Structure formats: C-alpha cells, structure tokens
C-alpha cells in the first residue's frame, strides 16, 4: 500500500477502491461533502467518513479518514493526523517519528523516490501545413501543475515535426504547446495522441497492488516502509519503457501529397468555412481510407465463394495481344507486389487481356465465361430499391455518398476457390487473391460484405453495391455519422475513391432519383430518350412514330382516341400524301402519347423484387436504342428508355458490332437497375444469341460479351423486327449525348476515334532557321538522350501567314529539333587538323589543290554531275560536325525523314563534302535503330534451305497439321486434320468438329496408328492442339518422337503446308455452297491426290504404299496374273516395292538438291554468335505504322544454325527463332 504524508492536506483521505480491497467499505459512514484542491478552484467530492486504524511501527493509530474516488494514492495522511500524533520528520535520515504513550516510535520512509511521468495528450486533432508552426491545446489527468515537459522522440528536434522542451503550467487540466513542421509535406496529428510527458517527483498514481490487511476490523497495514510501484494506468502516468518505446505512443501521420490533393478537392465545393474546417479535420484523421496510392485488401469475415457443379476444369489458351504484352507484364508485376494475385498451378485457366480506356491507360480483364457457366448462382437478394428510396425520403437534410476504390479488388476470396480464378498470360498462370471483375456472383458477395461492415451504422447509412449513402437530420449528427462510417471502413481496411465521393450536400442523385429534404423525384435520365423525341414534320416520320407505339396499344387506355388526330393525317392514299399537315391537334396528341409512355400504369419507377428484367435493344445506322422492361401480372411495364447517337467512328462498325454496342451501352447506363438481377436480353439480330456461351470470331463483340459477364444474364432471345418497335424507333431518332456515358472506357472505340483536327483556311509554312534553338523537342524515341537536328540552306527565310502564336510554337517544336549550328563552322574547321593542313597547302599552292578558301572557310571544288563542265564549291565539313549534320539530315522529320543512303547523299553533296562521305552516310544509316526496326527488306529473307533427309521407308516420319476453321457442315465438321507421310507423300485427311487436344489424340490413334502403325517421328507446329499434356502422355505411352517446328516458320513442316494449299481449291470446286457439304467430298479428293503421280517421287503415293496402281473407273479391264504359290506374290511385291523405294529416295534427294540451288540463289546466310544483340521479326496482327522488328533488342544465348534461342533482357523471356526472322543490330 502507498501512503502519502501531505502537510498541505487539511484532512486524511483514503481511496474508495483501497477501502473495498480491505473489505471495510461496509463501515463507511456515508455523507457527501466537498473539498477544494490546492489550486483553489477544482472541487473534490468525498463519499463519507470511516474510522481508519494504521499500524505505525508496532503501534496502532486511529484517525477519521474521508473516503474519495480516484484518489491520487491509496492513503493521504493530512494535518489532522500529523497534529494528533505530533509527527516529526528527520529529512537527513529520512525518518518519520511519533510520540505515543511517552515513547517515540520511528519508521524509515522510501529513500528511492522514483520520478513519475505524467502523459501529455493532444486535446484536438491538429493539421500542420508544410514548413509552418501551429499552437495546440494539450491536457493531463491532473488539474493543475507546473513542471518540465519532455516531448517523445517522434517530436524531438531531430525530426521534421517537433515540439520544444519547455516548462509548462497547467490550469484546469489544460495548457498550450507549439508544433513545428519543417518538412515539405503537411502533417496530421489525431486527437488523443500522446506527444510527451511531464517529469514530476510526487506520487500521483493510484496503486494497483493488493493490500495486506490485518485481522483487525480497521484493516491495518504497514505501508510507509514499502517502495512505491510505478505503473501506467487509466492514462494518468506512463512508465519508462513506454517513454522509450515509440510503439506505445501515437505517432505523426504523414499524408501523401496525392491524398492531400484529393481531400482538398473533395471539400472544395463546401462554402461554409466552419463546415469545411470540420470536414478537413475529419478527413485528415481518416486519411488512410482516402489513400489510393497503394492497393488494399479488406479484412472481412465474409470471403467470396465459388460453388460449382461437377465439372472438368475449363482451360483456355491465352489471347494473342502482341502490342500490349509489355503493359500486361508491368500490370502483373504490380498485382504481384500488391498481393492481389499469385503464381498458380491450377488446372483452371481463363484468358486474360487488356482493353484500352478513354484516358489511354489499360484495364485488366479476364474472360470468365466458361467458369460462370458452371458456377451455382448465389440467390442472396439485393436491397429493395423502393424501400431504400423511401427511407432516404424522410426529411433528412444532409447527405453524403461514398464510393469504394476498385471495390471488388478489396474483397478476399476463400482459399479453396482461389485456384478457380486462375488466368493465363504469356508470362505464365496466375490466380487472384481478391474478387476479380467478371465473376457471376460478384454483386451478391459484395453486397453481403458491405452490409456486414456497415451493420453498426444501419440507422444512418445505406449501402447498395458499391454506393454508400450517409444521411442525417442535423449537421452535428452528420459529422458523427460520417465518423462512425469511417471507423467501420477503417477497421476493415477499406479504401474509398475520393474523386467519386460527395460530402455534406442537401440534394443527391441515387438509384435514378433526386433526393432532398423536401421531395423525392425520379430523374429525367430514365425517360429523357422519350422526352427528346422530336415532333414529326413528314408523313413518313409520323407513321414511324405510330408504328413504334402500336405495340403498346393494349396497355394504354383510349389509345385510339388519343392518337385519332395523328391517324387523321396519316391514313392517306398515295395521291393524297401531299396533304399531310401537322397542326395543334396533332401536337397535343403527340404530347399525350409521349406522356403515356412515362407515366403509370405503363411506367414503373422501381423494379419489382424477385422478377426478371427484360432488356430490348436495337441499332440503326446512326444511333442505338434500348428499353428496360419487367413483366408484372402478365403485362410489360417500362423502367428505362435509352437512346444515343453513334459517333462517326461507331457508324463504321459492322451490323453485329452496332447491335452488341447497343447492349453494352444500355448495360452501362442502366447498371444500378441491372446489377445482381436476372436479365433476359431481346434482340432482333440472331447472331448475338450465343455471345454469352461462345465466341463469335469478332474481337469487338467478344470483348463486349466479356465486359458484361458480371451481370446475371439468363439468356439472349431473338425476336422479329416487327416486335422491336420502340427500341428501333429510338435508335433511328437518337438524342445527342451531352454527358459522358461512363467514366471508364473499355476500349470499344477505334484508335482513330479522337477529336478531328479542324483544318484552317490559312496555309502554314514551317519556320526554318540555321540558328540553334534553346527549346528543342525530342522526336526520336530511340535516342532520347541526343538532340535531333535540321539543316537548311542559309538563303531560306522564315515564312508564316498564320497569326496564331500557339500554332507557330507547335510547328516549331515539331519540325525544328536539330542541334546542327552552321555558325560554328569556322571555329570547328580551325580545330580540325586535316582541314588546317589542307588550308596550309592551298595557301602555298592554290592552283594544284581542288579547294578554295573564302572568308577563312575551306571549300571543296567538285563537279556535281558526270560530263558536266560546271564546278561548284561546297563546304569542307569538319569531323566534329559530321554526326550532328547526319542526325539532322536523316533523323529530323522534315529535312530527313529516315530516308535511304542515296537520298541523304543527294541532299548533302550539294552543300557539303568530307573524305569518304558516302561511306560515312551509309554506315550512319545502317546503324539507325529505327530504320532497322521499321525498314522493309527488299532482298530475300536470310537463311539457306536445310532439307529433312528422306526416311528409309513409309510411315517412319509423318507431318501433321490442321486446316481450318472452315464453314460448319451439317455433320458439325469445321476442321480437317492432315497427316502426310514424308516418304510416300501419302495423305490421310480426317474431318473434325473442333481442333481440341482430345479430338486430335482420338483421330490420330483411331484413324492412323490403328491403320498404318506407329511412326518413328511426328512433326507438327506449336499449336495448343499438338503441344499439350494429353499428346505428351500418349507419346510416352506408345513410344514415338514428336518435334515441333520453329514458331512462325511453317517451312519446317512444308510438305503438309503444301498439301493444304493444294487441297483447299480442289474441295472448294466440288462442294455445294448452299448446303456447305465439303466433308462429303473430302475422302474422294484425298484419294485422287494419293492416286496421282507426285512430282518429287515420280510415283503416286498409292503405288509406293501398295506396290501397284489403283484401278479407277475409267481404266480398262485389268490383266490377270497367276502365281503357283501365294508366297510368290509376296516375293514379287517385295521386289517391286524395293525398286520403287530405292528410286523414290533417289528422286527425293535429287529434287531437294535442285530446290536448294534454286532457293539459295542470291540469298544471304548470316551466322550469329552467343552474345550478339539482334532484333526479331514481329508476327501476328499489327498496325500499318507498327515496327516490323521488335522494339527492344534481344541477345543470342544458344546457337544451332539456322535455329537460335534469344532472350529478351527486359522481360527475361526466351524464344526459338529462325534465322530468317533475325536482324543484326548495327551500332556505329
């Protein structure tokens, strides 16, 4: 027990908790009274009085003690006790004595009084701008004290945010300190942060020790001799360890500059200063939930679950996207760093690809269509829209709308289901750790997670998918409600998107309604397409309007009566059509018909829960239209009308692309109504009926089907055009879009879909100068560290007839990028030793040298044209200026343009000369990296012919390849598997419905191995139908070798490729184009080929296989041969085949030799060594302006001429490349 002897206390006091611990609280004589603390101000209340017995040495003393709560120590002995027992103090010896019964009793006090540290806490949140000072209000648990203040280490002078050491005086618990921020960033210190402590040499801490009391009723204890313990409790004091350990103290939170900008932008529309300041403090307090500089994964108890029906894991090969490989690689690395994805060994594999957004960046998308088909639907309901709107419309005055940053990417996935999200890329297989976009049950999971997180805030916050609405009646309530929502989000590690959040507004748009304190009104957005329908001015327009509404005739009461004035002017015969007029009666009828479409009973403001939605769309040549409907009690009710004008680029789309675009843009516009609900799509374009289950071989349409896979689309139904009246009308009379349809483009528009450059009527001639420019542009991306240059004749002048200075600046920065300065010529010639030597010789003997000196500049005298008598003088260019001149005359977009050696030499030779001039130009242009990447080779591709040695007999070496896809036949065949024997040239063709690994293995085994035996070697390309685990296992099981051709080099398997080019035209001539029955003629065409003489072998494949010619329908009756014994025929057949095979092998070798001579004529055969830097040819789909060879150099790491293995040093990817696809990098 700790007892304090206090000469400043008038009475003796005991802590109520101490009294309870010695079981004496029942002896308390309760009566309330008050005392005043030493500051003379603060009141001090007591509960009553108790008779206390204190054991002093071995004597019992008694005193009446007042009982108080939260006493600073266990017991305080005041002046009443000191006077009663005549306490004496020996300060030197630290002894206290009393006189009792004429005797003196002594006790030693605690000689090692420890310094106690009183924590100092920040009373209010503090925002400190960069490089500034701020006063702050601080508090302590003691009412009044004056003591030395020591800041924590985080606020010491060695840090950017500090508080000076000083003597502080506290009154009524409070004082003020100065914060200094010397950093270039603002700092935020939240309320309640411990910033330091006061050094105090008095016991001010309630004891946490248990009392050792006597058996007597008063609870006697010997406490004065004990060493007082130092404990931090109730934030009143802190220990030495806490002072030294910075983790025990709140630290300064540094705010990222981008987060600070976002927060200031978020409150920029709040004009009341006090409200703006309050929100600023609140947002800075929770600045972490607005920090979008890094990815966050929420800590939620609910994880996304992917329940599937029994199935084999769907796997697809990656989509080829050569132009975005580097971007995808960087995104994958960023995802790995943020732990959003991880490397995978899953049997699942969905293809990933990138789509370009409106701002030029890319969005990562995975095609989960196959996974969604086997996923069991999550039937968790979404909140009822009508109930949500009604709750918001109860007179609330303050609203805030919060939006999560990449909300799906913050939701974790159940560990067992992560492998189902695996996606394949050119860099390997990865799987998501978070909820990706495009999964079937993403919206219900997201709704469940957000509902769970905001359950404590359900009285003042609503969540509908990724939108959170906070509503309050008063301003103070709203700040409190926002605080609680921020705490809930912060506790679960969620991050908001500040650019989409709206705070402290009196009116808000939510779920298609405008909500304020006074009224809730539907937004006109849903009906704007109808309101914007213009009045007809022609008879045809009026008829189309009535036709669009005719389908709704049965839903609209008195339709015939309302439309009668319009019918009166449209029911005209052919000869009376000129009598059409549009007057007041027609205008009134037109207006009433439009109003009937946007009012009850036909129009609903809210979708009915648990009933599917119907989206009907259509597209025309100029626009798109869509109507969202719901069937209720057998009647269709409209929910949303959409109409939009197509851009000039979109008008160039094919029909299927326009129809798919209409579906997509309706989904984006109607997203709040569609997400999480069962949807049926109605379209009058039949090819779109299967877009959600299979690809349609159209990149734009397939991309749209991937982007809408997050919606619960039940089916796509084809309807006749006459049933699609209103969407058709809306698409033919679309309204202009004054707003952005959505904030993120998904790459559906062409690269050319940009604002056209308006042509000016003024003719602009780019200004040209020989003086160096201070502001040089950087045009050549391959040599960014060098300045480009232009060279112009000195007699050219500047011309520009445009007054627009901005246009001048643009042209100058675009076309004048040279650093060639002709004014330095004289100085550079004087520094060149060869030129100075020549000048000396010219001056000593001017007639013998073909040079002249003018104005101290050396010129070369040349004859510009052969057989010309005219001589001209050109500048002798010093060696130091050659490089900049060549750079200007070759690399500059205006004066050079990366043209050839002859063009460049022709330009320069008229004005300049230097030794070996043409050779210098040739070497410079050969070393230009851009020219190496983009120039088309006019010579034959390098690499000489390497023939495969002919095998010894039939079916030892075979080649295999697929031909297709062809048009689907009635037997569902689309592909032909071609197998060719390299010796006999015998062909087997097998029609197949697809080219999957399963079908390939089955056809190869049943149609070839079981009929002709197992070959020693099979040669194929590197297609996934050949290079897969199934065929690899079959190879090991049966026992044959399988080699693959070099990528993008079909010549490796040239025999099969040659048959494909022969086979396709022949079968095209025979098939019935209407019935598309090419597979019926396939075997006949193959037999005709096998029975014909091959040019190389000089025999037909049939003869080499069977030892005889086939009997054909037009052949005469065959001769009869008789053998005495059956074995004689076999012997004769062996002799015949031996002769055939010997002759065939000789013929093949002879033909290969002739082919090699012809192929190798005038063809180079470069040899590369390990370590050589090369460029590789870019294959696949590329634009007209894309490079022919790789933009990044690669290094040879293995040679086996003509096949090389190269490594991309940036991506660390290795690939096999044929010599014909390599180009050596030449460096000057």
Asked whether the predicted pLDDT for residue 237 surpasses 50, the reply is no
Tell me: the pLDDT tens digits for 1098-1123?
888 888 888 777 877 776 666 666 66
Asked whether the predicted pLDDT for residue 930 surpasses 90, the reply is no
Q: Which of 291, 265, 292 is nearest to 280 (CA)?
A: 265
Question: Which residues face 992 on adjacent strands?
Answer: 975
Per-residue pLDDT band at 970 (split at 50, 70, 90): confident
Burial class for 17, CB neighbours closer than 10 Å (0-12, 13-18, 19+): middle
Mean pLDDT across the stretch 1074-1085? 81
The domain made up of 116-200+224-254 is a member of CATH 1.20.950? no
- Under CATH, which architecture does the 1173-1224 domain have? Roll (2.30)
Asked whether the predicted pLDDT for residue 44 surpasses 90, the reply is no
Q: Which of 587, 690, 669 is nearest to 625 (CA)?
A: 669
Q: What is residue 100's predicted lDDT score, i.e. its pLDDT?
A: 79
Kindly state the DSSP code that residue 57 receives in the 8-state scheme: T
Give the side-chain half-sphere CA count within 13 A for 431: 19
Our CA dihedral for 23, 24, 25, 30, rounded to 10 degrees, sits at: 180
Q: What is residue 991's predicted lDDT score, i.e. its pLDDT?
A: 92
Asked whether the predicted pLDDT for residue 218 surpasses 60, the reply is no
- Tokens 């040079």 correspond to 851
Q: Give Cα separations from 177 to 74, 137, 185, 574 (angstroms).
A: 32, 7, 21, 94
- Greatest mean pLDDT among 115-119, 222-226, 857-861: 857-861
Q: How far apart are the C-alpha atoms of 114 and 1038, rounded to whole Å?
A: 87
Q: Percentage of the chain surpassing pLDDT 70? A: 79
Q: What is residue 778's predicted lDDT score, i.e. its pLDDT?
A: 38
Asked whether the predicted pLDDT for residue 1020 surpasses 80, the reply is yes
Domains 603-732 and 957-1139 share a fold: yes
Mean pLDDT across the stretch 347-373? 85
Q: Which of 129, 120, 191, 134 is nearest to 483 (CA)?
A: 191
Kindly state the DSSP code that residue 780 receives in the 8-state scheme: -
Q: How far apart are the C-alpha atoms of 714 and 718, rounded to whole Å?
A: 13
Question: Which residue would you say has higher pLDDT here, 582 or 384?
Answer: 582
The domain made up of 322-522 is a member of CATH 3.40.605.10? no
Q: Please report which helix (H) or strand (E) contains residue 403, including its range.
A: strand 398-403
- Greatest mean pLDDT among 71-85, 647-661, 732-746, 1184-1198: 647-661
- Tokens 């009116």 correspond to 507
Please provide the CATH number assigned to the domain covering 603-732. 3.30.420.10
Asked whether the predicted pLDDT for residue 247 surpasses 50, the reply is no
CB 113 within 8 A of CB 42: no
Tell me: the pLDDT tens digits for 412-439?
999 999 999 999 998 889 999 999 888 8
Q: Give Cα separations from 836 to 829, 841, 857 (angstroms).
A: 7, 9, 10
Q: pTM for the full model? A: 0.42
> Would you list the domain boundaries of the chain?
3-108, 116-200+224-254, 322-522, 603-732, 762-926, 957-1139, 1173-1224
Q: Please report which helix (H) or strand (E) contains residue 264, including its range.
A: helix 257-266
Q: Please report which helix (H) or strand (E) contains residue 371, including its range.
A: helix 369-373
Least confident of 60-69, 753-762, 895-904, 949-958: 753-762
Asked whether the predicted pLDDT for residue 55 surpasses 70, the reply is yes
CB 195 within 8 A of CB 120: yes
Asked whether the predicted pLDDT for residue 763 surpasses 50, the reply is no
Mean pLDDT across the stretch 755-781? 33
Q: What is residue 83's predicted lDDT score, i.e. its pLDDT?
A: 85
Q: What is residue 516's predicted lDDT score, i.e. its pLDDT?
A: 82
- CATH top-level class for 3-108? mainly beta
Question: Which residues face 89 on adjacent strands?
Answer: 96
Tell me: the pLDDT tens digits for 1140-1197?
788 778 878 888 788 778 877 888 888 888 888 888 888 876 677 777 787 777 878 7
Tell me: the pLDDT tens digits for 344-355?
999 999 999 888
Q: Give Cα separations from 735 to 550, 617, 629, 662, 739 (angstroms).
A: 21, 15, 20, 14, 12
Please provide the CATH number assigned to the domain covering 957-1139. 3.30.420.10
Question: Which residue would you say has higher pLDDT here, 882 or 695?
Answer: 882
Asked whether the predicted pLDDT for residue 791 surpasses 60, the reply is no
Q: What is residue 421's predicted lDDT score, i.e. its pLDDT?
A: 93
Q: What is residue 548's predicted lDDT score, i.e. its pLDDT?
A: 64
Q: Percentage of the chain surpassing pLDDT 90? A: 10
- Greatest mean pLDDT among 564-573, 609-618, 929-938: 609-618
Q: Which of 823, 815, 785, 820 is nearest to 895 (CA)?
A: 815
Mean pLDDT across the stretch 828-832? 87
DSSP, collapsed to helix, strand or coil, labels residue 312 as: coil
Mean pLDDT of the residues in the chain: 77
Q: What is residue 1058's predicted lDDT score, i.e. its pLDDT?
A: 78
Least confident of 547-561, 602-616, 861-875, 1130-1144: 547-561
Per-residue pLDDT band at 770 (split at 50, 70, 90): very low
Q: What is residue 681's predicted lDDT score, i.e. its pLDDT?
A: 93
Q: What is residue 16's predicted lDDT score, i.e. its pLDDT?
A: 83
Least confident of 168-182, 664-678, 858-872, 989-1003: 858-872
């Amino acid at each position: 027990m700790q007892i304090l002897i206090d000469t400043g206390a008038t009475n003796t006091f005991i802590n109520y908790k101490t009294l309870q611990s010695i079981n004496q609280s029942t002896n308390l004589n309760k009566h309330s009274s008050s005392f005043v603390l030493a500051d003379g101000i603060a009141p001090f209340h007591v509960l009553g009085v108790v008779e206390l017995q204190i054991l002093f040495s071995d004597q019992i003393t008694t005193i009446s003690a007042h009982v108080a709560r939260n006493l600073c120590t266990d017991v305080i002995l005041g002046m009443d006790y000191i006077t009663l027992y005549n306490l004496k103090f020996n300060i030197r010896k630290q002894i206290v004595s009393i006189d009792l019964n004429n005797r003196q009793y002594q006790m030693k006090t605690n000689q090692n009084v420890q310094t106690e540290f009183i924590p100092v806490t920040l009373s209010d949140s503090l925002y400190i701008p960069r490089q500034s000072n701020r006063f702050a209000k601080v508090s302590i648990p003691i009412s009044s004290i004056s003591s030395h203040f020591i800041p924590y280490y985080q606020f010491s002078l060695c840090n950017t945010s500090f508080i000076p050491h000083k003597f502080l005086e506290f009154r009524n618990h409070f004082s003020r300190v100065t914060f200094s921020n010397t950093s270039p960033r603002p700092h935020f210190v939240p309320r309640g942060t411990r910033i330091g402590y006061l050094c105090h040499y008095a016991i001010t801490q309630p004891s946490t020790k248990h009392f050792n009391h006597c058996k007597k009723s008063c609870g006697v204890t010997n406490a004065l001799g004990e060493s007082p313990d130092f404990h931090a409790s109730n934030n009143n004091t802190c220990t030495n360890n806490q002072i030294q350990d910075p983790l025990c103290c709140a630290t300064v939170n540094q705010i990222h500059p981008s987060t600070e900008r976002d927060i200031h932008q978020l409150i920029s529309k709040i004009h009341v200063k006090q409200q703006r300041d309050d929100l600023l403090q609140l947002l800075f307090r929770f600045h972490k939930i607005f920090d979008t500089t890094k990815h966050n994964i929420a800590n939620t108890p609910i994880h996304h679950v992917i329940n599937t029906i029994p199935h084999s894991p769907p796997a697809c090969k990656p989509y080829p996207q050569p132009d975005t490989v580097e971007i995808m690689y960087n995104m994958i690395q960023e995802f790995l760093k943020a732990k959003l994805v991880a490397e995978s060994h899953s049997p699942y594999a969905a293809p990933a690809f990138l789509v370009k957004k409106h701002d030029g960046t890319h969005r990562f998308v995975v095609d989960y269509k196959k996974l969604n088909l086997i996923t069991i639907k999550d039937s968790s309901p979404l909140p009822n829209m009508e109930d949500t709107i009604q709750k918001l419309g109860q007179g609330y005055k303050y609203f805030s709308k919060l939006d999560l940053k990449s909300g799906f990417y913050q939701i974790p996935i159940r560990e067992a289901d992560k492998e189902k999200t695996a996606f394949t890329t050119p860099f390997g297989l990865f799987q998501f750790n978070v909820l990706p976009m495009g999964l079937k049950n993403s919206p219900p999971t997201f709704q469940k997670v957000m509902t769970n997180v905001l359950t404590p805030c359900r009285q003042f916050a609503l969540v509908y998918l990724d939108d959170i609405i906070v509503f309050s009646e008063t301003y103070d309530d709203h700040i409190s409600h926002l605080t609680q929502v921020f705490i809930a989000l912060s506790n679960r590690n969620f991050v908001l998107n500040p650019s989409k959040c709206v705070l402290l507004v009196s009116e808000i748009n939510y779920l298609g309604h405008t909500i304020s304190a006074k009224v809730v009104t539907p937004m006109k957005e849903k009906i704007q397409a109808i309101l914007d329908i213009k009045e007809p001015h022609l008879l045809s327009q009026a008829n189309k309007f009535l036709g669009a509404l005719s389908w709704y005739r049965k839903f609209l009461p008195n339709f015939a009566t309302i439309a009668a004035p319009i019918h009166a002017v449209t029911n005209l015969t052919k000869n009376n059509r000129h009598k059409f007029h549009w007057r007041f009666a027609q205008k009134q009828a037109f207006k009433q018909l439009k109003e009937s479409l946007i009012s009850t009973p036909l129009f609903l403001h809210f979708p009915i829960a648990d009933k599917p939605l119907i989206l009907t769309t259509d597209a025309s040549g100029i626009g798109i239209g869509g109507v969202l409907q719901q069937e209720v009690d057998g009647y269709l009710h409209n929910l949303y009308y959409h109409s939009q004008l197509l851009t000039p680029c979109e008008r160039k789309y094919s029909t299927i692309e326009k129809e798919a675009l209409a579906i997509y843009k309706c989904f984006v516009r109607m997203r709040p109504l569609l997400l999480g609900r069962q949807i049926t799509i109605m379209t009058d374009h039949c090819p779109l009926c299967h877009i959600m289950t299979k690809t349609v071989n159209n990149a734009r349409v397939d991309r749209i089907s991937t982007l809408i896979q997050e919606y619960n689309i039940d089916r796509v139904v084809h309807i006749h055009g006459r049933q699609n009246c209103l969407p058709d009308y809306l698409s033919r009379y679309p309204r202009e879009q004054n707003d952005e349809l959505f904030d993120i483009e998904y790459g559906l528009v062409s690269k050319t879909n940009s604002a056209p450059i308006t042509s000016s009527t003024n003719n602009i001639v780019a200004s040209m100068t020989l003086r160096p420019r201070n502001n040089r542009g950087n045009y050549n991306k391959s040599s960014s560290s060098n300045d480009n240059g232009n060279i112009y004749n000195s007699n050219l002048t500047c011309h520009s007839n445009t007054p627009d200075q901005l246009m001048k600046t643009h042209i100058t920065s675009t076309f004048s990028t040279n650093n060639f300065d002709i004014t330095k010529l004289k100085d550079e010639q004087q520094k060149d030793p060869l030129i100075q030597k020549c000048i000396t010789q010219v001056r000593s003997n001017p007639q013998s040298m073909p040079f002249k000196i003018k104005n101290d500049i050396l010129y070369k005298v040349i004859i510009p044209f052969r057989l010309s008598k005219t001589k001209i003088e050109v500048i002798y260019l010093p060696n130091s200026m050659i490089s900049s001149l060549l750079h200007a005359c070759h690399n500059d977009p205006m004066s050079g343009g990366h043209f050839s050696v002859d063009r460049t030499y022709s330009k320069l030779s008229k004005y300049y000369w230097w030794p070996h001039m043409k050779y210098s130009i040739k070497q410079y242009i050969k070393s230009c990296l851009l020219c190496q990447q983009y120039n088309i080779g006019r010579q034959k591709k390098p690499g000489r012919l390497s023939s495969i040695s002919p095998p010894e007999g039939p079916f030892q070496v075979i080649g295999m390849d697929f031909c297709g896809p062809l048009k689907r036949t009635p037997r569902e065949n689309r592909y032909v598997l071609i197998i060719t024997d390299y010796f006999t040239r015998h062909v087997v063709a097998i029609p197949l419905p697809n080219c999957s690994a399963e079908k390939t293995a089955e056809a190869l085994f049943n149609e070839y191995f079981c009929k002709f035996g197992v070959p020693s070697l099979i040669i194929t390309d590197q297609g996934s139908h050949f290079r897969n685990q199934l065929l690899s296992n079959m190879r090991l099981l049966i026992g044959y070798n399988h080699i693959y051709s070099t990528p993008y080099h079909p010549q490796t398997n040239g025999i099969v490729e040659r048959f494909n080019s022969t086979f396709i035209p022949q079968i095209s001539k025979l098939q019935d184009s209407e019935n598309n029955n090419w597979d019926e003629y396939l075997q006949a065409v193959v037999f005709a080929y096998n029975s014909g003489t091959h040019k190389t072998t000089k025999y037909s494949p049939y003869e080499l296989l069977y030892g005889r010619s086939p009997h054909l329908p037009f052949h005469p009756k065959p001769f009869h041969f008789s053998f005495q014994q059956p074995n004689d025929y076999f012997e004769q057949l062996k002799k015949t085949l031996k002769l055939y095979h010997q002759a065939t092998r000789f013929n093949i070798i002879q033909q290969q030799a002739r082919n090699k001579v012809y192929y190798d004529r005038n063809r180079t055969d470069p040899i590369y060594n390990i370590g050589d830097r090369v460029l590789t040819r870019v294959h696949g789909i590329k634009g007209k302006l894309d490079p022919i060879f790789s933009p990044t150099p690669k290094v040879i790491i293995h040679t086996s001429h003509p096949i090389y293995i190269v490594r991309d040093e940036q991506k660390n990817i290795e690939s096999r490349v044929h010599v014909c696809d390599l180009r050596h990098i030449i460096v000057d």
